[in-house]
Amino acid sequence: MTRPGTRHGPTMHDVAAAAGVSQATVSLVLNDAGGGRFSEDTRQRVHEAARHLGYRTNAHAKVLRDGVAGMIGFVGDHVATAPFAGKIIEGAQARAWEAGMLLLTVNTGGDQRLEEASLEAMLSHKVAGVVYASMYHQVVDVPDVLGEVPAVVLNARDRSGTFPSIAPSEELGGYTATRRLIDAGHRRIGFINIGDVEEGLPAVVGRLEGYRRALAEAGVDYDDDLHRPGDGHEDGGYRNTLALMTGPKPPTALFCGNDRTAWGAYQALASLGLSVPDDVSVVGFDNQESLAPYLRPGLTTLKLPFVDMGRRAVELILAGNATPGHTELFECPLIERHSVAHLQHLPTQRTGTA
């Protein structure tokens, strides 16, 4: 059966005829602009007729009327392809959908030309705002063009201090991870970071600050020999764990700056004949769902609150009242599994050999 209307689909006139109302009534009902002037029966007839005919509202007309489209732009570097950062999109998309809007997502892969083109396209389509997201927590240079619309920097910080930002609380996360090991009786706690502090990455600097604060609070002196810069990869976790555990005073616990580092630590400990947590307790960071639950034993780790952060970014755009330059930090909750044991329950630690 051929639907009424032209080859471009049914028109508002077709919906009005099917529902037995005027075209003006259809327009007001479908655009939620009629207030309480129509009965529920009228509203239902209009919506049912539109669904039956396959009528779609004119997005271009909405832009002309309201000045914005029913879309929010989302531009990320490698967010959509990262093994766990994609949760940010999940949260942002869910919140946009709750507000009756779509999330227009572009993953640039770090290509600046693609980023520029996608932002221009989004602005030309009159998006209600743009979420500018990063795969990992870093300081970024936000394109000036985003000053034309409400914009929020997500999982990063705006270097210029112009745009509001949302990021994980790295310092609190490092503190929480170290505090968990201290509460289990450990005092010699090794820390394998995910980079060199000199590089200035917020995750690297913040997690080290949290580690040091927890030690100081417990009356434990910071020992530089127990801190390794690391590289955030499995191999770095393996090599640095070997170095720590074969030293003159090996630690009884390890705080690893991310879960991939912890994975390498597990392998290094096994190669030395040491087990987790019977000989050495381990805490990670990220709660990478494809990894942390499947290590044996399951890894106790900190969860990056990506879903909540994504939702909050869209909320700030919808509210339109975010404070320029303000960074909102999200707590990283501790996810308990089975990689931490109380020190008094440990057997006499065996020292591995290189």
Q: What is the pLDDT of residues 173-222, one digit of tens each?
A: 999 999 999 999 999 999 999 999 999 899 999 999 999 999 999 999 99
Residue 351 included in any domain: no
What are the backbone dihedrals phi and psi of residue 71, each rounded to the nearest 5 degrees, phi first?
A: -140, 150
Rounded to two decimals, what is the model's pTM?
A: 0.78
Give the C-alpha separation, 307 to 88, whole Å.
5
In terms of Cβ atoms closer than 10 Å to its own Cβ (0-12, 13-18, 19+), residue 174 is buried
* End-to-end CA separation in angstroms for the chain: 78
Cβ contacts of 144 within 8 Å, gap of 6 or more: none
> Is the model's pLDDT at 276 over the cut of 90?
yes
CATH number at residue 102: 3.40.50.2300
Asked whether 351 and 246 are in contact (CB, 8 A), the reply is yes
**Same domain, yes or no: 251 and 105:** no
Same domain (yes/no): 251, 324 = no
Beta-bridged to residue 72, according to DSSP, are: 103
Q: Can you tell me the distance from the alpha carbon of 305 to that of 316, in angstroms, rounded to the nearest whole number?
A: 17
Are residues 288 and 311 located together in one domain of the fold?
Answer: no
Average of pLDDT values for 13-41?
80
Same domain, yes or no: 174 and 271:
yes
Q: How many structural domains comprise the chain?
A: 3
Same domain, 75 and 38: no
Range of the structural domain that residue 31 is part of: 12-57
Closest CA to 140 of 114, 119, 112, 113: 112
Q: How far is CA 64 from CA 69, 253, 272, in A?
A: 9, 62, 69
Say yes or no to pLDDT of 58 above 60: no
* Residue 2 counted as domain residue: no
Token readout for 30 is 């479908």
* 142 lies in some domain: yes
Residue 340 has pLDDT above 60, yes or no: yes
112 Cβ contact partners less than 8 Å away, ≥ 6 residues apart: none
Query: 179 and 135, same structural domain?
Result: no
Say if residue 290 is in the same domain as residue 340: yes
Query: pLDDT band at 83, cuts 50/70/90?
Result: low
Q: Does a structural domain hold residue 4? A: no
Same domain, 181 and 243: yes
Same domain, yes or no: 41 and 89: no
Q: Look at residue 7 and tell me if it is in a domain.
A: no
Could you tell me if 58 and 5 are in contact, meaning their C-beta atoms sit under 8 angstroms apart?
no
